[in-house]
Amino acid sequence: MTGSKQSPPKFSAERHGSRIAAIALAAAIASWTDRARTEEQLPPYTVVGDAIPQSLTGAKGNVERGRSIVVNRQVGLCLLCHSGPFPEEKFQGTLAPDLKGTGARWSEGQLRLRLVDASQLNPNTIMPPYYRIDGLTRVAPAFQAKPVLSAEQIEDVVAYLATLREE
């Protein structure tokens, strides 16, 4: 395995794992992940508790664009794993929690960290790190040194998810 700092030695999607322990863990290792980030080329961000309170771009995202990223199977890829309030989308995933109500359950800062790098909260998560380029193995050449989503796209998705308030 080539230098993956955040990948545990064995992998599973432990979706029923203890979220509380994971959050405590995330808070406790915040300084550890900060150190890991110094080698990245992506602009730095600050984790506070289980959230990234500040916008990655300094600006607020666009809700409409966020929705279209979420439903796009080549861009957001979210519906591979998640389902959500998208009646027009026939094929949705069952690997992850339904996205409806996420805006009521989580603050924008919490949503931001879950998108940027969910593995900081749950090392076993299958949710891809959308804004991390280090600690990855055998990335296809076309995707090397690029995050799955740009900072602007992350902000658009955060802005959209924050509107999903109905459980």
Partner 1 sequence: MTRPAAVLFVIAVLGAAAAAADIPLAERKSGYEFMARETRAMQDDDSANPATLWVLDAETLWQRKEGSAGKSCADCHGDARTNMRGVAARYPAFNEARGRPIDLEQRVNICRTEQQRATPLAFESKELLALTAYVGQQSRGMPIDIANDAHIRPFLEAGRVMFTERQGQLNLSCAQCHDDNWGQKLAGAAIPQGHPTGYPLYRLEWQTLGSLQRRLRNCLFGMRAVSYPYGASELVDLELYLMWRARGMPVETPAVRP
The one-character DSSP state at 15 is T
Give the shortest CB-136-to-ligand HEC separation in angstroms: 14
114 binds, among partner 1, ligand HEC, none (CB under 5 to 8 A by kind): ligand HEC
Query: From residue 81, how far is each of 42, 72, 162 by CA, in Å?
Result: 26, 12, 19
Q: Which residues, 17 to 76, sit near ligand HEC by CB under 6 A?
A: 70, 76
Residue 52's contacts (CB-CB under 8 Å, 6 or more residues apart) are: 45, 46, 109, 112, 113, 116
If one asks whether residue 102 binds ligand HEC (CB under 6 A), the answer comes out as: yes
Give the shortest CB-24-to-ligand HEC separation in angstroms: 15
Q: Of 5, 21, 46, 64, which lies in the binding site for partner 1, with binding defined by CB under 8 A? A: 21
If one asks whether residue 19 binds partner 1 (CB under 8 A), the answer comes out as: no
- Residue spans of alpha helices (H) in 3-131: 19-28, 30-37, 63-71, 78-81, 102-105, 108-117
If one asks whether residue 113 binds ligand HEC (CB under 6 A), the answer comes out as: no
Nearest to partner 1 of 32, 104 (CB atom): 32
Residue 101's contacts (CB-CB under 8 Å, 6 or more residues apart) are: 164, 165, 166, 167
H, E, C per residue of 52-75: CCCCCCCCCCCHHHHHHHHHCCCC
Comparing C-alpha atoms, which of 78, 54, 88 is closest to residue 149?
Answer: 78
If one asks whether residue 23 binds partner 1 (CB under 8 A), the answer comes out as: no
Give the shortest CB-20-to-ligand HEC separation in angstroms: 13
Residues at the contact surface with partner 1, assessed by CB under 8 A = 1, 4, 7-14, 17, 21-22, 24-25, 28-29, 31-32, 73, 77, 79-81, 90-95, 119, 123-124, 126, 128-129, 136-143, 146, 148
